[in-house]
Amino acid sequence: MTTRRDFIQTTAIAGGALSLGLAGCAKSEGGGIRRARNPLNILILGGTSLIGPAQVEYALARGHAITIFNRGRTNTHLFPEVEKLVGDRDNDIEALKGREWDVVLDNHPSIPRWVRMTAELLTDSVRQYVFVSSLSVYSDNSIIGMDENGPVATLDDPTIEQVTGATYGGLKVLCEQEAEKAFPGRATNIRPGLIVGPGDNSDRYTYWPVRIDRGGEVLAPGDPLDPVQVIDTRDLGQWMIHMVEDSIFGVFNATGPEKPLPIGEMLGSIKSAIDSNATFTWVNTDFLQEQGVRPWADMPAWFPPQDGMEGFGRFDCSKAIAAGLTFRPHEITARDTLAWHKTRPEERQANLRAGISAEREAEVLEAWHSRGLE
């Protein structure tokens, strides 16, 4: 069966243009975004996909100055008002030399050498280095309530740079270590889970609002009480801005909601949010395995809590919550994700990168009903 890490590596994560709908953090009494007391000069490595747009838009609303550094290939039309530096993390970071910023947000690299190059270059010109890691750093998903002190993955060959399902977690661990080595006591390593919401082109969550909006009988995986954890890209991006405003360092699991969400409740809240007529047929894990229906890939956001995955969807995020991480209602995430999806090109709307196809779903449901297993 395809593992979570395999699927992470085989799905694209480039975000599209979106309206982020700023909400939740640092609102003024009038309902707008309150300006930061001490505006910062922030460098974002990336900035135009996944969590980057949420960070940029919220930081600008808070009054911070933003510089974006990337290859200049993705969503180049976004944020014309900010400074944009062009380079390549692999072999060209000349544009960063001789410059100073208060903080740097390093979004999603998986190659330790890339982190080492930028962190070493910026160590004397930046106060704080924030690296976006992953919950995939943990080596044992059977542990329920894993906190930041849990065992992490290792690599037999720490010089390897090929990102695969087998190496992804270990490479992220090495990236975290490079950040801490260059910024001892001044690094912040953020470990998100599944990042969802408007702009996530991986479709690892988008499948569910789209499928439920289509209505009819929906194949639902496992047990309605199976836990899932997701984090809205806007909640994550906004919280990271507050982390640098408050100079908070350390390692943080960063997913939500505050307590693990039963998948039945997640799907039900999506249905309620978009006013769908969908009905759910819950098909047990053994039957799904027999039919070759893969968790995470065909049934996104879900892994059955068994066979070494008992702790998946049950990570302890209390440290991040104590540091100010908040979560918008899931209904808002569902509604906004579907609205964003309907702005995409027709080809992308018709061809999701995750989730079971309509034809295959119908076949599995027919097989399930024919055996009278309800």
Residues listed for the chain: 374
Query: Between vectors from CA 30 to CA 27 and to CA 31, what angle results, nearest 5°?
Result: 45
How would residue 221 be classed by pLDDT, with cut points 50, 70 and 90? very high
Condensed to tens digits (0 to 9), the pLDDT of residues 294-346 reads 999 999 999 999 999 999 999 999 999 999 999 999 999 999 999 999 999 99
**Per-residue model confidence (pLDDT) at position 372:** 79
pLDDT over threshold 90, residue 71: yes
Condensed to tens digits (0 to 9), the pLDDT of residues 81-125 reads 999 999 999 999 999 999 999 999 999 889 999 999 999 999 999
Pick left, alpha or beta for residue 351 (phi over 0 → left; psi -120 to 50 → alpha; otherwise beta): beta
pLDDT over threshold 80, residue 178: yes
Q: What is the mean pLDDT of the chain?
A: 91
The tokens describing 265, both together, are 């409740």
148, 128 contact by CB (below 8 A):
no
List residues bridging with 253 in a β-sheet: 191
Q: What is the DSSP letter of 53?
A: H
Which sequence spans correspond to the domains of the chain?
4-370
**Per-residue model confidence (pLDDT) at position 5:** 36
The domain covering 4-370 belongs, at the CATH homologous superfamily level, to NAD(P)-binding Rossmann-like Domain (3.40.50.720)
- Whether the model pTM is above 0.85: yes
Mean pLDDT of 217-229: 98
**Per-residue model confidence (pLDDT) at position 320:** 98
Q: b vs e for 253-275, b when ≥16 Cβ sit within 10 Å of the residue's Cβ?
A: bbbbbeebbbbbbbbbbbbebbe
Whole-angstrom distance, CA of residue 236 vs CA of residue 259: 16
Condensed to tens digits (0 to 9), the pLDDT of residues 233-290 reads 999 999 999 999 999 999 999 999 998 899 999 999 999 999 999 999 999 999 999 9
Condensed to tens digits (0 to 9), the pLDDT of residues 16-59 reads 333 333 334 465 444 588 999 999 999 999 999 989 999 999 99
**Per-residue model confidence (pLDDT) at position 8:** 32
**Per-residue model confidence (pLDDT) at position 32:** 82
Express as a percent the part of the chain with pLDDT over 70: 91
